[in-house]
Structure 1
Amino acid sequence: MLVIGGLVFLLLCVFGSFVASGGAIVPLVVSMPFELITILGAGIGTFLMANSMSDLKHVPGAFKAALKGPAFGRQDYLDLLGLLFFFTRLAQSHGVMALEPHIETPTESTAFANYPKIRDNSRVRNLICDYLRMISMNMDDPFQFDEVMTRELAKNLKEDTHVAHGMQSLADALPALGIVAAVLGVIKTMGSISKPPEVLGEMIAGALSGTFLGVLLAYGMVGPFAARIQSVVEEDAAYYDLIRVVLVAFLQGNAPQVSVEIGRKDIPVPLMPSFEEVDTAISELAIG
């Protein structure tokens, strides 16, 4: 809602102050559709040229994420800590082979069944299972484990931010595309130089609206939206990184409770559950 509210406030301030100061809105309204076709059409064309089909498929999801916000909240972090505690405690008390029934068929696992949101999120579920499988295959060197998982998380983050980077590139190009639309308007005006001054004035005003719209779209809409997508992606990345922090801490020889507490300290402050919340959550878990 903040995104929509901010956009509405921006438009009200820009156009409202223009009208309130005595600006003539008619030339702007008349020329705006044609200028927008030129600027947005060119912008979409450059965006298509600069990005792969794989990146373009992620654009609708990125827009949805920007409007909806981060996918994971405080309770999601608490649930993840509870599940990771269950697995590390199980590995400690029954050996790493006890993990196999849960990681080979996670959709049938009683552990994952307690956390349906994690079970139904294939990305989170697969990340947990893949690295627990490595642990069950005796990959117990915490430094090697940390390096491998860090590389994958960095790769995923880079791929997830492609849309934000592409939109930021589009925002950087929009002012220049606005100038293109303005120059075309000036060329059109010069072709009608014999017309009365009042007609020429409206035509020049329409041409200048191209520059105005290019700058407004770049710095008032597309640029902030790109930044919002980037922010959401980076905040969600902290959730995936929590898996790495807890498992590496466990491989370093820490007790499950200590590993979970190390992970809790790595959670962004606004989403960090308290020690008491985590302690209560893990104390209720039954380890078979």
Structure 2
Amino acid sequence: MLGIVGIAVILVMVFGGYMLAGGKMGIILAALPFEMIMIGGAAIGAFLISNDMSSVKQTVRDIGKVFKGPRWKLEDYRDLLCLLFELIRLARANPVALEEHIESPDSSSIFRKYPRIRQDHEAMDLICDTLRAASMNYDDPHQVEEVLDKRMDATLHHAMHSSHALQTVADALPALGIVAAVLGVIKTMGSIDQPPEVLGKMIGGALVGTFLGVFLAYGLMGPFATRVKTVVEEDIHFYQLIREVLIANLHRHPANICIEVGRQNTPHHLRPAFSDLEAAMRELKQDAA
């Protein structure tokens, strides 16, 4: 919602200010379709040249993050802590019973309680792979922490590709606007014998290219890239919470202490209240009993 409001503010302030200053939209509207074809088409072509198909699809999907915001909400962090609490308690009480849950999470009665988490393959793989490794006696906390850190870095690097791709397009747009403007000037020079009022409109149309390239770069595409980056950085906290809890588990801390470690490492605005989380875990204990 905030993204839509931001776009509306940009359009109203830029074009509203232009019109209040006495500018006329006729020249801009007349040139806009042709300039947009040149600048937008060249930007899309350059984007396709510099990315493979999977990256293109990922970037198109990630543009939605500008308007949707982060994927994980406060209740998702609470559910994640509850899920990890159940798995850790089961691993301590009956390691054999844990295997059926981590080997077949889609049919697991525990994972089914948390459908949003179960739909995220990265979170599921991270939880199941780490618990499986621990069950195979690969339980040196320092080695596992190093492996998870490398995995987090790889996940973040992959998730950031959309932001980098959008920023590259934003950086190219002003230059593409100049290209369109130069073509407009060439067209104008070919009609140098026309009266001044005709040449004025043609020069104005050519300058729309420069305006459009800069406007799209710094008014839309650049902010899009920044917003995608911000959302990705916030969502990565969800996976880092898994890391913190499972590493604490390998240090053999009590299950409730492991969960508290994760809660304390959650960003403040997404951190479940201690009392709410305690009540949720108490309910899980009662259900298990």
Provide the rounded CA distance (Å) in 2 between the counterparts of 1:65 and 1:139: 37
CA apart distance, 1:186: 0.7
**Which residue pairs with 1:240 in the alignment?**
239
Per the alignment, residue 55 of structure 2 pairs with 55
In 1: Cα distance, 2:280 partner to 2:213 partner: 52
CA distance in 1, matches of 2:89, 2:226: 40
CA drift at 1:24: 2.0
Report how far residue 122 of structure 1 moved: 2.8
Alignment of 1:47-196 (within 5 A): 47-94=47-94, 96-196=95-195
Q: State the 1:106 CA deviation.
A: 1.1
**1:213 — aligned with what?**
212
Q: Distance in 1 between matches of 2:255 and 2:224?
A: 40
C-alpha distance in structure 2 between counterparts of 1:212 and 1:259, whole Å? 55
CA distance in 2, matches of 1:73, 1:244: 18
State the AA in 1 paired with 2:275.
E
The 8 Å contact of residues 70 and 236 in structure 1, kept in 2 or not, is answered as yes
Deviation string for 1:171-221 (max 9, x for gaps)? 011001101111111111111111101111111111111110000000000
Query: Equivalents in 2 of 1:118, 1:208: separation in Å?
Result: 51
Q: What are the Cα deviations for residues 27-51 of structure 1, in whole angstroms up to 9, with x where unaligned?
A: 1111111111111011011111111
List gaps (5 residues or longer) in structure 2: none
Counterpart of 2:50 in structure 1: which amino acid? A
* Secondary structure at 1:285 match in 2: helix
Q: Normalization by structure 1: what TM-score?
A: 0.96
Q: TM-score, normalised by structure 2?
A: 0.96
1:44 alignment counterpart: 44
- 1:279 alignment counterpart: 278
Q: What's 2:230 paired with?
A: 231
Give the whole-Å Cα distance in 1 for the aligned partners of 2:11 and 2:66.
Answer: 19
Unpaired stretches in structure 1, ≥5 consecutive residues = none
Q: Which residue identity is paired with 2:167? A: Q
Structure 1 counterpart of 2:97, one-letter code: A
Superposed displacement of residue 126, structure 1: 2.2
Q: Is the 8 A contact 2:59 2:165 kept in 1?
A: no
Say how many residue pairs are matched: 287
Cα RMSD for the two superposed structures: 1.2
The CA deviation string for residues 43-71 of structure 1, in whole angstroms up to 9 with x for no partner, is 01111111112201212311222221111
Q: Distance in 2 between matches of 1:178 and 1:108?
A: 54
Question: Which residue in the other structure is 2:200 paired with?
Answer: 201
Query: Given that residues 99 and 136 in structure 1 are in contact (C-alpha distance below 8 angstroms), is that contact kept between their aligned partners in structure 2?
Result: no
Task: Determine the C-alpha separation between the residues in 2 that align with 1:127 and 1:17.
Answer: 51
C-alpha contact 1:78 1:273 (8 A) present in aligned 2: yes
Distance 1:224 1:67 in 2: 12
**Shift of residue 253 of structure 1?**
2.5
Amino acid at match of 2:110: A
Q: Tell me if the contact between 1:85 and 1:260 (Cα under 8 Å) persists in the aligned partners.
A: yes
Mapped partners of 2:218, 2:117: distance in 1 = 37
Q: How far did 1:274 drift?
A: 1.0
Q: Which amino acid aligns with 1:11?
A: L
Tell me how far apart the structure 2 counterparts of residues 86 and 282 of structure 1 sit (CA, whole Å).
Answer: 8
| Per-residue deviation, 1:25 | 1.6
